[in-house]
């Protein structure tokens, strides 16, 4: 195929590559490889280092090795199933090793042609009969006339395959594509970007990915390609951030409310409503029944500064369970209302929405601020009344679920949208709430699920980030213990002791009812046993997702009032439930839950001044389960737990549904490549500082690449 590069493009069909042809092209098609471009970007899943050639005497079982020697014997024999066993003996003068193939008669024919000559082979060494060493189904080649090992004894790519596609087919196609077409690759990264970040050119990197000269050159090649993947994502996110800052938002006149950040002048402005209650910080302190932590004050200050700016706020607040995000949200809402605007707070479940509603009513009622509730379970009359209050402006604060974005719901002057547990909502739902606002309202999204920094940067890089990294004073760390199923009686006795001291308890189960397919504790069954056998003298309630909304709220209210001593529940209590007197949680079959979910559940206790406990009842069935349980015993730091969860499960499962994602990286790994992600983020900021729309000629390929990234489409509109 000499000179093919001059006549064909990267879109040339793979069948025209030297050594491929129509039949092999059909096989490659099973892998989605149809063009030269496809094969060049079809990267190995791992590499075998065949560059070392030990003497056969030095071989050890359990190691993958490259061996060289004379083929002294080739034999075949039939097996009981009518198959064929091929065995060859390789000898290098120091020792021998057996080479074994099952039911591959063509291998025997090829080996017999070169018997007595030298070959080189690669495979896993293991013990065979009589403790002799052998390799099963090794790859092999005949040595050339010059007695050179050649391309066989090198770092060799191993590609991801499907049934019927051999490694040699992909390797041959990749080698031919690199030889004739790699010079046609256009590098989307400019010389300036390459030089500033010490990156290699694209064509060199692609060659090294398929035919690495050494582990070091492979690392350099992969590093550049990972940087490129991250750069496209970061450019999208930073362009979105810049785009939002071009929108005309609401400049909340918070300074006119004598907004006092720590260190500010105490006599800047009078209160906007003329009631002379003092500055906004004073009103916040008067509104809240507790002292704010330093972290809460810092985050509130960051939010208020955003709200004063003339473009829309897009801020993500992360805070571990119990860190006080509701107080922060209430302070933002107070600022919006005092400036003459409405606020809306959207939660993913009715239980959480109603809890926010009750908490905000307690805070805002004394200030004469009306709080309105919108949830699906309301009667037609209740819904109509709630909608009228929102549309007429009578309700300054509106709390609800998806009902807030229902067709027909209108707001008088919505200036602030607060979205709690934002990972439970999709982009479209957040946009729907924002579009009901006054012009371009400010958006504050909150999560009690700590997200590792690498994920935050990749998924929410267009949002400004605040972290509440301090728990309220007086909160005692929750003591967590892992107990085996046969220790249940002792666990139940401990729970009884705590209840006799006046406390309350949660029992959490992975399922509602018993299942033939899964041997796991069911909430209905446990509720029956605790009620009739273990605690017949105590008040035991049941809560799960299949109950009617009114039934769920009634049970939760009974537990809040301490009309129940024990609440048996599924994960419906995972988020937002706040009963300070509940100080012990028993999680049955804890190995059935993910690490982050266990941490969220544990956060339902430890919300008062009494020492709280979380008891994980589980018989770990695999190393990952055991590791999760040990981590929970050792730490209550949500961000550390999130990092460990990312390592165990990977980014897709950690973030869940939409958030993980449509974002798929071909090479990048958010666990291991965090530093590269940070470098790419800084590079993206620098590029856009110089060329905010990527309109310069040298950036046209970058712009084209971004438009090709279909997985980033949802991120282009995030708020």
> Per CATH, which fold does 52-153 belong to?
OB fold (Dihydrolipoamide Acetyltransferase, E2P) (2.40.50)
Q: What is the pLDDT of residue 260?
A: 39
pLDDT over threshold 70, residue 428: no
Name which residue leads in pLDDT, 402 or 506.
506
Least confident of 3-12, 300-309, 523-532, 567-576: 3-12
Cα–Cα dist 506/540, whole Å: 10
Mean pLDDT score of the chain, rounded to an integer? 84
Cα–Cα dist 22/29, whole Å: 10
pLDDT over threshold 90, residue 110: no
CATH number for the segment(s) 479-635: 3.40.50.300
Domains 52-153 and 254-308+324-447 share a fold: no
pLDDT over threshold 70, residue 716: no
Q: Which of 35, 49, 48 is nearest to 174 (CA)?
A: 35
pLDDT digits (tens, 9 = 90+) for 82-109: 788 899 999 999 999 999 988 888 888 8
Domain ranges of the chain: 52-153, 254-308+324-447, 479-635
Distances (CA, A) of 530 to 348, 486, 540: 31, 16, 7
- Asked if 302 contacts 290 with a C-beta cutoff of 8 angstroms, the reply is no
* CATH tag for 254-308+324-447 (out of 3.40.50.300, 3.40.140.10, 3.40.309.10, 1.20.140.10): 3.40.50.300
Give whichever of 144-148, 260-264, 518-522 has the largest mean pLDDT.
518-522
Q: What is the pLDDT of residue 646?
A: 73
Q: How confident is the model at residue 131 (pLDDT cuts 50, 70, 90)?
A: confident
Cα–Cα dist 428/395, whole Å: 25
Segment 693-700 mean pLDDT: 93
Q: What is the pLDDT of residue 276?
A: 36
Q: What is the pLDDT of residue 227?
A: 96
Percentage of the chain modeled with pLDDT above 70: 87
At 368 the three-state DSSP class reads: coil
Q: Which two structure tokens, joined as six digits, stand for 72?
A: 């002294």
Segment 241-268 mean pLDDT: 65
Segment 9-13 mean pLDDT: 93
Q: How confident is the model at residue 517 (pLDDT cuts 50, 70, 90)?
A: low
């Amino acid at each position: 195929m000499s000179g093919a590069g001059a006549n064909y493009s990267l879109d040339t069909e793979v069948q025209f590559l030297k050594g491929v042809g129509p039949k092999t092209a059909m096989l490659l098609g099973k892998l989605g490889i149809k063009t030269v471009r496809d094969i060049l970007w079809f990267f190995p899943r791992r590499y075998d280092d065949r560059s070392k050639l030990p003497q056969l005497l030095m071989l050890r079982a359990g190691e993958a090795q490259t061996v060289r020697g004379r083929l002294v014997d080739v034999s075949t024999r039939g097996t009981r199933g009518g198959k064929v066993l091929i065995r060859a003996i390789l000898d290098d003068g120091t020792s021998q090793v057996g080479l074994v193939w099952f039911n591959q008669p063509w291998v025997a024919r090829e080996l017999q042609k070169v018997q007595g000559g030298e070959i080189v082979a690669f495979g896993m060494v293991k013990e065979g009969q009589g403790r002799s060493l052998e390799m099963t189904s090794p790859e092999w080649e005949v040595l050339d006339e010059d007695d050179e090992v050649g391309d066989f004894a090198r770092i060799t790519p191993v590609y991801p395959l499907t049934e019927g596609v051999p490694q040699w087919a992909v390797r041959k196609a990749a080698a031919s594509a690199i030889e004739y077409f790699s010079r046609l690759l256009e590098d989307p990264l400019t010389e300036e970007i390459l030089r500033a970040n010490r990156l290699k050119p694209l064509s060199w990197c692609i060659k090294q990915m398929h035919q690495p000269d050494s582990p070091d050159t492979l690392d350099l090649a992969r590093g550049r390609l990972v940087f490129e993947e991250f750069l496209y994502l970061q450019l999208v996110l930073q362009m979105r951030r810049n785009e939002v800052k071009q929108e005309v938002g609401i400049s909340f006149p918070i300074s006119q409310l004598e907004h006092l950040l720590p260190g500010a002048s105490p006599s800047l402005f009078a209160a906007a409503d003329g009631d002379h209650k003092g500055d906004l910080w004073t009103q916040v302190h008067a509104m809240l029944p507790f002292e704010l932590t330093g972290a809460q004050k810092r985050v509130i200050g960051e939010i208020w500064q955003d709200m004063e700016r003339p473009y829309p706020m897009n801020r993500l607040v992360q805070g571990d369970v119990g860190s006080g995000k509701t107080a922060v949200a209430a302070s933002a809402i107070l600022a919006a209302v005092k400036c003459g605007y409405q606020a809306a707070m959207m939660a993913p479940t009715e239980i959480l929405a109603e809890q926010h509603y009750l908490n905000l009513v307690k805070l805002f009622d004394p200030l004469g601020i009306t709080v309105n509730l919108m949830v699906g379970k309301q009667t037609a009359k209740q819904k109509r009344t709630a909608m009228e209050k929102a549309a007429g402006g009578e309700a300054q604060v509106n709390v609800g679920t998806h009902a807030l974005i229902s067709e027909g719901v209108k707001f008088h002057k919505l200036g602030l949208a607060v979205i709690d547990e934002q990972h439970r909502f999709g982009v479209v739902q957040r946009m729907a709430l924002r579009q009901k606002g006054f012009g371009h309202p400010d958006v504050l999204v909150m999560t009690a699920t700590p997200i590792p920094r690498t994920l935050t940067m990749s998924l929410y890089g267009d949002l400004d980030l605040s972290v509440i990294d301090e728990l309220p004073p007086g909160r005692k760390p929750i003591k967590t213990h892992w107990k085996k199923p046969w220790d249940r009686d002792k666990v139940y006795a401990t729970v009884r002791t705590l209840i006799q001291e006046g406390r309350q308890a949660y029992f959490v189960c992975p399922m509602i009812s018993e299942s033939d397919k899964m041997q796991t504790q069911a909430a209905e069954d446990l509720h029956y046993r605790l009620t009739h056998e273990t605690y017949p003298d105590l008040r035991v309630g049941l809560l799960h997702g299949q109950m009617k909304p009114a039934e769920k709220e009634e049970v939760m209210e009974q537990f809040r009032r301490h009309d129940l001593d024990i609440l048996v529940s599924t994960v419906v209590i995972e988020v937002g439930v706040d009963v300070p007197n509940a100080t012990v949680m028993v999680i049955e079959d804890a190995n059935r839950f993910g690490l982050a979910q266990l941490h969220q559940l544990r956060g339902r206790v430890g919300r008062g001044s009494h020492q709280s406990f979380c008891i994980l009842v589980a018989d770990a069935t695999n190393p990952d389960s055991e590791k999760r349980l040990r981590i929970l015993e050792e730490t209550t730091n949500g961000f550390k737990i999130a990092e460990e969860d990312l390592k165990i499960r990977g980014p897709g499962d950690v973030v869940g549904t939409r958030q993980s994602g449509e974002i798929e990286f071909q090479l990048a790994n958010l666990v291991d490549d965090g530093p590269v992600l940070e470098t790419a983020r800084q590079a993206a900021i620098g590029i856009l500082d110089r060329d905010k729309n990527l309109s310069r000629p040298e950036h046209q390929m970058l712009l084209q690449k971004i438009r090709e990234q279909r997985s980033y489409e949802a991120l282009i509109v995030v708020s």
